[in-house]
Amino acid sequence: MNRLLLASAFAASLAFALPTAAEAKTNIQIYLGYPHYDYQVGPNYRFRDGYGWYRPVYRGRLSCNQAKRQVIDRGFRRVSTIECRGATYTFRAIRRGDPVRVYVNARTGAVWRG
């Protein structure tokens, strides 16, 4: 018992006597997104306070006429526009003699009937 107590006291004093690890003062920032520059690279670059100059990526949308053309190319006739706002455009059309409502995804151009 005495030996066990003596061995644990020795191990504890050794643990306190060892130097502790140095604290790292490194600051690493990882930014996933647009690359930013210290200067304006081109005319369509925008400035973001705290970051710098960047070029925004605009994900295109179909115009209303392009979407209408997609509907006509799918075999619909007498196509008229109901709404061309938001993520989905809506049209009224005739398919095989029946009136139908047709939707077009504004980004991908996918066409489906309602």
Q: Three-state DSSP class for 60?
A: coil
Question: 1 pLDDT exceeds 70?
Answer: no
Contacts of 91 (CB under 8 A, 6+ apart): 67, 68, 71, 76, 79, 80, 81, 82, 101, 102, 103, 104
| pLDDT at residue number 31 | 60
- The answer to the question of residue 104 being in a domain is yes
- The answer to the question of residue 10 being in a domain is no
| pLDDT at residue number 101 | 97
- The answer to the question of residue 97 being in a domain is yes
Please state the φ and ψ torsions of residue 86, each to the nearest 5 degrees. 85, -160
Output the six-digit token pair for 95: 């398919």
Q: What is the domain extent for residue 79?
A: 64-113
- The answer to the question of residue 6 being in a domain is no
- The answer to the question of residue 75 being in a domain is yes
- The answer to the question of residue 33 being in a domain is no
How many domains does one find in the chain? Answer: 1
Question: 90 pLDDT exceeds 90?
Answer: yes
| pLDDT at residue number 36 | 74
Residue matched to tokens 């455009």:
89
- The answer to the question of residue 76 being in a domain is yes
| pLDDT at residue number 18 | 63
CB 102 within 8 A of CB 71: yes
CB 113 within 8 A of CB 96: no
Closest among 60, 67, 63 to 93, alpha carbons compared = 67
- The answer to the question of residue 30 being in a domain is no
